[in-house]
Amino acid sequence: MSNEPVRGPGSPTLEDVARVAGVSRATVSRVVNGVRNVDPEIQETVRQAVAVTGYVPNNAARSLVTRRVGSVALVVSGAGEEEDEVGEDGFSTRQIFGDPFFGRVVGGIVGYLRPRGIHPVLMLADTADARSQVLAFLRQGNADGALLVSTHAEDPLPRLLTEAGQPAVLFARPARPLAISYVDCAHHDGGSLAADHLVARGCDRVATIAGPLDVPASQDRLAGFQNAMARHGRPYVPVVEGNFTLGSGVTAMERLLVEHPDLDGVFAANDLMAQGAVLVLREHGHRVPDDVAVVGFDDSSAALACRPQLTTVRQPVENMAAEMASLLLTTLDQPDRRVTSVVFEPTLVVRQSA
Amino acid sequence: MSNEPVRGPGSPTLEDVARVAGVSRATVSRVVNGVRNVDPEIQETVRQAVAVTGYVPNNAARSLVTRRVGSVALVVSGAGEEEDEVGEDGFSTRQIFGDPFFGRVVGGIVGYLRPRGIHPVLMLADTADARSQVLAFLRQGNADGALLVSTHAEDPLPRLLTEAGQPAVLFARPARPLAISYVDCAHHDGGSLAADHLVARGCDRVATIAGPLDVPASQDRLAGFQNAMARHGRPYVPVVEGNFTLGSGVTAMERLLVEHPDLDGVFAANDLMAQGAVLVLREHGHRVPDDVAVVGFDDSSAALACRPQLTTVRQPVENMAAEMASLLLTTLDQPDRRVTSVVFEPTLVVRQSA
DNA sequence: TGGGAAAGGGAGAGCGCTCTCCGTCGTGCT
DNA sequence: AGCACGACGGAGAGCGCTCTCCCTTTCCCA
């Protein structure tokens, strides 16, 4: 084993390490990747050679032959439309990345992927153009698969991905049945939890601010809420549709207050809208929860930022996101496994607002 | 040009396209990459062959020879420490990704990069382990360079990156001088803007909630604020240190209220803390802005979510983030250019809280 | 009309790695 | 002692692409 520093023009290659260690390229590869048995003594020699040369494997060369790059795409689909354009490229993305719910998703995914040495590539797919960009990206082998967080129902991307045969896992069940893995939450049960809690609290005149009704999750939360209320003998519940933003919660609550000034309970389909509702209620002089109880959904950071802090239906988002990543990696390792989906149960987190 | 579908075992390669088009591999490559002159007629033939075969270039093979992968790392450095661990892998990341300020940064970066077909790889570097992971990632050629958003001062990563000769651009000036490009905001001027506004409003007993004082941005905001106040004849301003979270704003405001119950103006070094301050003030029966005026910093979504909406010093974060990406791409194209930095001017956004 | 340059296409050598095959041992069994 | 087999290292063929040469063709100008 010679001891000269070994400087190629660029960074050291397997060949360099092999030369220093006095073995073949194949052996170094075996040691680096830990495949097959290699004599412990030789292993040690190779490791030292790696250290001496400062060798780092070139991932491009590796994936060229393995057909795996060791990274996944994190696709946020159907974010904002054309609105909110600023500057040459448009910053319509601000909204989605600022969403505390989305923050939890990313956190969960990164938490799972990172210990495994995998890092997500952030992509937006809000236009047809962007969608084909995502597809091309995957087909070029820039990522092994996709984690897809869709924000609206008619997103064509899940279908496109399955058609292209690209491994993917969705956050939330697709609007129409599709042979694709997904992770979801039992939104229906979540709606029930909210209803049960409001009724148990003694609320009698209850309304709800639903999410966009083309999204399955919104439908389920609403249905679960309505069914449970019906079970409690209140078959008719005023409903106003929002779009999951704080602003829409404000608007919805204002409308509810006009139409039903004697409300004593509100279930909002997410925390941001619940926060908006609370703001309006307080501005109109209603105490929360004494006059009107408010229940949110998600248990996002908005629930804590709100005053009073929100009682909310908690989705185990981080766990769901981690499961999503886990499912994808499994799919990658066993390509012919059939699609699997996992549904998590929500829980009620009681704080001050109800 | 034969018309059979041409099915290799995997996806079609340059070779396949060349065969279909009846030209050489090199020519197809030239057409695909748009380099050198190629006879228009042949170009057309090749394009058709590409369409017929459904050819997509393999990026691994390409970067193996070009030494460029066409992606950059977006590194969030020094996020949470060991706190907030949940599940096997820890979700300490929740906080940072939920931060509305961070959302704007990501939005700005993605907005700039996306039209250029580049997508950021999300990485966390909150531990020594994670830092070497980032370094290895770059050295393996998984990304061409790094965009670094540091949240605390003593982050060693900027230095590590320069030492490793990896192209990188920072968000915010490094704590100690370093030969590295960065983008920043004139925090000092921002602090002055806040002071001027509070004084102009007639506030006389003003305090400030500073950010963590080991961060240059916090220092500058504070200094700018204090200097301007001194200029207005108020050399002594009560200061409490926070850490940029809503909770710390709450704590800080409570302390200020105890020590200076007759306050009539507060400058918080970011919106989240300002929001916390407003919550406390209102809980204690102070009207905002009538009794106490509050000015925040950042103009994040928290400024809008807050009631009353925050008057705040706006950092053009999206533009700054875009500039950061732009600087990095320039560096990649011209490796021997010397480091450059850009500093943006903040502006005052007057809303209801002051 | 000859010569030179420019234009444009093809051949082929790698980029750095993995992986299959093959050869060479050492070992245990008959 | 002979043989089969397992263990382990090396050789070499690519993975799909880019890019430097080199060769042919065309065209312009003297």
User: Phi, psi at residue B261, to the nearest 5°?
Assistant: -65, -15
Indicate whether this model's pTM tops 0.85: yes
* Set of chain A residues whose Cβ sits within 8 Å of the Cβ of B93: 106-107, 110-111
Query: Which class does domain A71-185+318-345 fall in?
Result: alpha beta
- Residue B102 pLDDT: 83
* Set of chain B residues whose Cβ sits within 8 Å of the Cβ of A57: 140
Using CB atoms, pick whichever of A107, A121, A141 lies closest to residue B91: A107
- The model's pLDDT over B42-57, given as tens digits with 9 standing for 90+, comes to 889 999 999 999 999 9
| Inter-chain residue contact B64 with A61, CB threshold 8 Å | yes
- Residue B39 pLDDT: 86
CA–C1' A330–D13 (A): 31
- Residue A41 pLDDT: 87
Of B329 and A339, more confident: B329
Residue B36's nearest nucleotide, by CA–C1', is: C8
Q: Does domain B14-57 fall into CATH 1.10.260.40?
A: yes
Q: Do domains B71-185+318-345 and B187-314 have the same CATH topology?
A: yes
Instruction: Name the CATH superfamily, with its identifier, for domain A187-314.
Output: Response regulator (3.40.50.2300)
Chain D: nucleotides below 7 Å from protein CB are 7-12, 14-20
- Judging by beta carbons within 10 Å of its beta carbon (0-12, 13-18, 19+), is residue B11 exposed, middle or buried? middle
B89 pLDDT exceeds 80?
no
B153 pLDDT exceeds 80?
no
In the stretch 294-353 of chain A, residues with CB closer than 8 A to chain B read 300-302, 304-305, 307, 318-319, 322
- The model's pLDDT over B71-87, given as tens digits with 9 standing for 90+, comes to 999 999 864 443 333 33
Cβ-based neighbours of B146, under 8 Å, separated by 6 or more: B72, B73, B74, B75, B134, B138, B161, B166, B167, B168, B169, B328
Of B95 and A84, more confident: B95
Using CB atoms, pick whichever of A58, A97, A121 lies closest to residue B106: A97
In the stretch 83-142 of chain A, residues with CB closer than 8 A to chain B read 86-87, 89-94, 96-100, 102-104, 106-108, 110-112, 114-115, 117, 119-124, 130, 133, 136-137, 139-142
Distance CA A31, CA A46 (A): 7
Task: Answer whether B195 touches A (CB < 8 Å).
Answer: no
Dihedral sign computed on CA atoms, order A108, A112, A113, A119? positive
Distance CA B145, CA B72 (A): 5
| Inter-chain residue contact B87 with A318, CB threshold 8 Å | yes
Task: Please tell me whether residue B265 adopts helix, strand or coil conformation.
Answer: strand
Of B334 and B350, more confident: B350
- Residue B78 pLDDT: 67
Domain ranges across chain B: 14-57, 71-185+318-345, 187-314
B346 pLDDT exceeds 50?
yes
Distance CA A143, CA A133 (A): 13
Q: How far is B257 from chain A (nearest CA, A)?
A: 19
Of A10-24, B5-19, B168-182, B273-287, the least confident? B5-19
Q: Smallest Cα–C1' distance to nucleotide D10: which residue has it?
A: A24
In the stretch 152-191 of chain A, residues with CB closer than 8 A to chain B read none
CA–C1' A39–D1 (A): 30
- Residue B229 pLDDT: 96
- Residue A87 pLDDT: 36
* Set of chain A residues whose Cβ sits within 8 Å of the Cβ of B301: 98
Distance CA A205, CA A266 (A): 9
Listed as ranges, residues in chain A with pLDDT below 50 are 1-8, 79-92
Q: Are A21 and A49 in contact (CB under 8 A)?
A: yes
